[in-house]
Amino acid sequence: MNSSRRKFLQKLTLSAIALPTISAYPFSIYAKQNLDPDRPILKVALMGLGGYAERVAEAMQSCQRAKVTGLISGTPEKLEKWGKKYGVPKESRYNYENFDQIKDNPEIDAVYIITPNALHHGQTLRVAKAGKHVICEKPMAVSVREGQEMVDACEAAGVKLLIGYRMRFEPNTLKVHAMRESGELGKIKFFQGQTGFKIGDPNQWRVDKTLAGGGSLMDIGIYAINGARYMVGEDPIWVTAQETKTNPEIFKEGVDETIQFQLGFPSGAVASCLSTYAMDHLDRFYLLGEKNFVEMQPSTNYGPIKGRTKDGSLNQPHTVHQTTQMDEMAQIILDGKSPIIPVDGNVGVQDMKIIEAIYRACETGQRQELDLG
């Protein structure tokens, strides 16, 4: 193993420290999977076997339309352990050097890429070339250029590219979407999105510019960006932003600690958002219309999501987000289903355009005009 690969694996292992423990969630990886025998099943290989991949793998044990059938990792010990745990045979386990061979494996339909941000681009191109569908964690890339190349590669290969925007399938989120669409909230005037936590281990890849492509905005702030778009129901046309950095030893050049940003929409609605790696207990969306408001707190974590309006609680059921996400994505890929709120690669590119504009606004102190195309 070369030194760069060893360093990468060490960073990936350390990153798991920042994630909540899996045992805190009320479902078992050993539960018998209740697959739907009457409909096709999406056979998924997980790439990057870190803490979040384990959460996805556990959640998928409750899926009706998706199943873990492949594993891709640079750590042989993980491939062995996960293979036994999830019933993935040796012939469907790959490393980062040989995973192009998935093209010859009929037991893999799609690859869920759950690796550091900077790796998504190259890995997506390789998966697409192998003729497999791609599900890519957010942010989809570290630049607009990379994101567009991913979209183009998947289109050329005739495969789907979906981004892991799990909140776009969450019941409370969809309830708010329906309320806005029906006019129940009235004309939307204002959105506030607060997203953040204390980063923890200073050596993890999330604060490494080379692997993360940025800092809090790429990781947690993207929820506020994404939320502003699907809660307001419009795409922003301008952005202003300000960066605050209190610990330059951890948050080095190009790695943002805290960013406040403001978005303007064609209707005149505005959004005020905060993204940070320096404060805990920031997970709140607030949407204000002329007739009603919606407050969601927590709004994006693993739940249960809680929401209320002036008339009381939203009272939507709690679901395991990744279970719902993977079943819905299976239907998008296998059945051609159109999701209520899109999760395709073009949406991911639009988010990257907003992220780049926010960084430019921080650097220049000037308002940036947006054209999401």
* Catalytic sites, residue numbers: 138, 223
Decide: 124 and 136 in contact? Cβ < 8 Å: yes
Q: Determine the length of the chain.
A: 373
Say if residues 256 and 212 touch (Cβ distance below 8 Å).
no
Q: Per 3-state DSSP, what percentage of the chain is helix, strand, and coil (rounded to 5)? A: 40, 20, 40
Q: Cis link prior to 339 (omega < 30° from 0)?
A: no
Task: Return the sign of the alpha-carbon dihedral for residues 65, 72, 119, 159.
Answer: negative
Which residues, other chains included, contact 281 with Cβ-Cβ below 8 Å and sequence gap of 6+?
none
Residue 326's closest CA among 109, 129, 115?
Answer: 109
Element (H, E) at 112: strand 110-113
Peptide bond before residue 116 is cis, with ω within 30 degrees of 0: no
- End-to-end alpha carbon distance in the chain: 43
